C-alpha cells in the first residue's frame, strides 16, 4: 500500500494566491526547471519560430538551416527591444531583425549586422549575439531551461519516464488536435487534482465507468479497497472496465494499436508519465495525450492539450477526431470546474492550511517536491 499512514498538513493557503509567494515559486521552480514548450512540430522548418512565455520572461524557439534547435530571450542586445510580437511565425530571409533599430541576427543567434551604426573602434559583432537559453528535444517535445547552467540535463530530469514510454513512437507522432484552456486557479491546485482520485466518484462518473478503481477514489490498484474482494475486482490485471481497451467514452477504438507495446502495456490501457512542473503524458494503446501547463499568475493557469497520432493513422478513413478527443475534453472540463471551486475557497481567512487523507499520497509527494525546491533557493 502507498497510502499515507497519518493525516498530513497541506501547503499554507497563502501559497495559492499571495503574489509575493507566487514570484518566489516562479524564481525557485519555473526558472530552474526543464519546461516543455511544445512539440518539435511547432518549429518544423528552418526560420519558423514560436514564443514561449513563463513568468515575465519571453523566449524565442527557432530552428536553423541545419535543423538545429535554438532558444533565445526575446530581447535585442542593443537596447532591449522585443524582437517578436507574434506568438509564432517565420523569420524573413532566415534572419532575426529587431523592429526598432534593425540589428540583424542569424538563426543561431549570432549578430550579423547593425545597419546605419556609426563606426567605433571597440565595437565587435561577436560580443553581442542574442541571449541564449538552454534548449533540448526529447521524444518530439521541445524543452527549455532558463538557468544559465542547468543543474541537470534534460535526460536526467526526465529520468525513468524515458524508459516507461520507450515503446511508444513518440518522436514520430503528429498533433491531430490542440486545445488551450485558461483556469482560474493556482498551478499547484491543478497538479494536486491530477495527483489524486479522491474526487473522482463525484466529479468523473464517465471516467469511473471506464476505470473502476477511480470509482473507489484511488489512483492505483495497490490502493484499491476492492482489490481481492468480490467477482471482477481481484484478478483482472487491467485497470480498465471489461471489454475496454483505451480512453474513449465507450472504451473501444477503431484505430490500430502501437506495434511495439508489450502485452502488459496493452492490458494497462493507460501509462502516465509526469514531468514536473510543466507537463504530463498519458500514453494509450492507440494514441497519446500530452498536457502542458504554465502559471499565468498566482490564480491563473494555462493548459495546452495535444492529442497525438502516427501520421498514417491520422490520415486514415477510420480516424474520427471527435471520438478521439471527447473523453479527454470532458475530463479536463470537469477538473477545471472543481479546481476553480477549490481556488475560490482558499482565500477563507480561517483556512490556514488543509489536511491530506490516506489516499492523497500523491498530493503529499507534490507538496514535498515544492517545499524542497523552495528551500533549495530560499
Kindly list the distances between the CA atom of residue 343 and the CA atoms of 13, 185, 353, 366, 368, in Å, as whole numbers in the listed order: 10, 5, 13, 17, 20
Q: Residues 223, 298: contact at Cβ < 8 Å?
A: no
Kindly list the distances between the CA atom of residue 67 and the CA atoms of 40, 46, 62, 73, in Å, as whole numbers in the listed order: 11, 7, 9, 20
Q: Do 183 and 296 have their domain in common?
A: yes
* 176 domain residue, yes or no: yes
pLDDT at 225: 82
* 22 domain residue, yes or no: no
* 5 domain residue, yes or no: yes
* 371 domain residue, yes or no: yes
Distance (Å, whole) CA 126 – CA 118 = 17
Q: Do 190 and 253 have their domain in common?
A: yes
End of a domain among 158, 176, 202? Answer: 158
Which domain CATH number covers 146?
2.102.10.10
Kindly list the distances between the CA atom of residue 268 and the CA atoms of 93, 223, 282, in Å, as whole numbers in the listed order: 49, 16, 12
Kindly list the distances between the CA atom of residue 302 and the CA atoms of 52, 283, 294, 305, 327, in Å, as whole numbers in the listed order: 12, 22, 5, 10, 20
Cα three-residue angle 129-37-191, rounded to 5 degrees: 140
The number of beta carbons lying within 10 Å of the beta carbon of residue 205 is 12
End of a domain among 123, 158, 193? Answer: 158
Q: Could you report the per-residue pLDDT of 187-205, keeping only the tens digit for each?
A: 999 999 999 999 999 999 9
Give the N- to C-terminal CA distance of the chain in Å, as an integer.
34
The total of structural domains in the chain comes to 2
* 316 domain residue, yes or no: yes
Q: Do 361 and 226 have their domain in common?
A: yes
Cell numbers describing residue 99:
523592429
> What percentage of the chain exceeds 70 in pLDDT?
97
Q: Do 125 and 4 have their domain in common?
A: no
Q: Do 188 and 330 have their domain in common?
A: yes
> What percentage of the chain exceeds 90 in pLDDT?
92
Query: Is 60 exceeded by the pLDDT of residue 230?
Result: no
Distance (Å, whole) CA 94 – CA 117 = 22
Residues facing residue 281 across a β-bridge: 273, 290
Distance (Å, whole) CA 214 – CA 201 = 7
Query: Is 80 exceeded by the pLDDT of residue 343?
Result: yes
Q: How many residues does the chain have?
A: 378
In a 3-state reduction of DSSP, which class is residue 245?
A: coil
Q: Could you report the per-residue pLDDT of 166-189, keeping only the tens digit for each?
A: 999 999 999 999 999 999 999 999
Query: Is 90 exceeded by the pLDDT of residue 246?
Result: yes
* 24 domain residue, yes or no: no
pLDDT at 184: 98
* 346 domain residue, yes or no: yes
H/E element holding 331?
helix 321-345
* 23 domain residue, yes or no: no
Q: Do 268 and 367 have their domain in common?
A: yes
Residue 365 CB contacts under 8 Å (≥ 6 apart), including other chains: 195
Q: Residues 186, 18: contact at Cβ < 8 Å?
A: no
Q: Do 214 and 279 have their domain in common?
A: yes
Q: Do 88 and 176 have their domain in common?
A: no
Which domain covers residue 367, as residue numbers? 1-17+165-378
Q: Do 117 and 244 have their domain in common?
A: no
H/E element holding 304?
strand 300-309
Which domain CATH number covers 208?
3.90.380.10
Q: What is the value of pTM for the model shown?
A: 0.95
Distance (Å, whole) CA 98 – CA 198 = 51
In b/e form, how buried is each residue of 211-230, taking b as 16+ CB within 10 angstroms?
A: bbbbbbbbbbbebbeebeee
Q: Do 324 and 203 have their domain in common?
A: yes
In a 3-state reduction of DSSP, which class is residue 200?
A: helix
Q: Do 186 and 330 have their domain in common?
A: yes
End of a domain among 99, 128, 158? Answer: 158
Q: Assign 236 a pLDDT band (cuts: 50, 70, 90).
A: low
Q: Is 258 exposed, middle or buried (0-12, 13-18, 19+ CB in 10 A)?
A: buried
Residue 176 CB contacts under 8 Å (≥ 6 apart), including other chains: 307, 308, 309, 314, 319, 321, 324
Q: Could you report the per-residue pLDDT of 141-173, keeping only the tens digit for each?
A: 999 999 999 999 999 999 999 999 999 999 999
Q: Do 83 and 98 have their domain in common?
A: yes
Q: Could you report the per-residue pLDDT of 29-72, keeping only the tens digit for each?
A: 999 999 999 999 999 999 999 999 999 999 999 999 999 999 99
Amino acid at each position: 500500500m502507498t497510502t499515507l499512514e497519518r493525516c498530513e498538513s497541506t501547503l499554507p493557503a497563502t501559497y495559492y494566491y499571495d503574489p509575493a509567494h507566487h514570484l518566489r515559486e516562479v524564481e525557485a521552480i519555473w526558472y530552474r526547471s526543464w519546461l516543455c514548450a511544445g512539440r518539435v512540430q511547432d518549429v518544423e522548418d528552418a526560420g519558423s519560430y514560436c514564443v514561449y512565455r513563463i513568468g515575465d520572461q519571453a523566449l524565442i524557439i527557432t530552428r536553423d538551416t541545419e535543423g538545429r534547435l535554438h532558444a533565445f530571450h526575446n530581447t535585442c542586445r542593443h537596447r532591449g527591444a522585443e524582437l517578436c510580437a507574434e506568438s509564432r511565425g517565420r523569420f524573413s530571409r532566415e534572419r532575426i531583425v529587431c523592429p526598432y533599430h534593425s540589428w540583424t541576427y542569424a538563426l543561431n543567434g549570432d549578430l550579423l549586422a547593425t545597419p546605419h551604426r556609426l563606426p567605433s573602434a571597440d565595437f565587435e559583432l561577436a560580443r553581442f549575439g542574442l541571449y541564449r537559453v538552454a534548449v533540448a528535444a526529447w521524444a518530439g517535445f521541445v524543452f527549455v531551461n532558463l538557468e544559465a547552467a542547468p543543474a541537470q540535463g534534460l535526460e536526467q530530469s526526465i529520468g525513468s519516464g524515458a524508459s516507461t514510454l520507450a515503446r511508444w513512437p513518440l518522436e514520430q507522432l503528429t498533433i491531430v488536435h490542440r486545445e488551450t484552456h485558461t483556469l482560474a486557479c493556482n498551478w499547484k491546485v491543478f497538479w494536486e487534482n491530477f495527483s489524486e482520485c479522491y474526487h473522482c466518484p463525484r466529479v468523473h462518473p464517465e471516467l469511473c465507468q471506464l476505470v473502476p478503481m477511480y470509482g473507489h477514489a484511488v489512483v492505483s490498484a495497490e490502493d484499491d479497497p476492492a482489490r481481492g474482494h468480490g467477482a471482477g475486482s481481484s484478478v483482472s490485471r487491467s485497470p480498465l472496465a471489461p471489454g475496454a481497451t483505451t480512453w474513449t467514452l465507450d472504451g473501444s477504438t477503431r484505430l490500430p494499436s502501437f506495434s511495439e507495446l508489450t502485452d502488459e502495456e496493452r492490458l494497462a490501457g493507460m501509462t502516465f508519465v509526469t514531468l514536473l512542473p510543466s507537463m504530463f503524458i498519458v500514453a494509450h494503446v492507440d494514441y497519446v495525450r500530452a498536457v502542458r501547463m504554465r502559471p499565468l499568475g498566482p490564480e491563473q493557469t494555462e493548459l495546452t492539450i495535444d492529442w497525438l497520432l502516427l501520421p498514417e493513422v491520422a490520415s486514415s478513413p477510420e480516424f474520427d477526431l471527435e471520438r478521439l478527443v471527447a473523453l479527454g475534453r470532458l475530463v479536463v472540463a470537469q477538473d477545471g470546474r472543481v479546481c476553480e471551486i477549490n481556488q475560490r475557497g482558499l482565500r477563507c481567512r480561517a483556512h490556514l492550511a488543509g489536511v491530506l487523507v490516506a489516499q492523497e499520497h500523491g498530493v503529499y509527494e507534490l507538496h514535498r517536491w515544492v517545499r524542497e525546491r523552495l528551500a533549495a533557493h530560499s
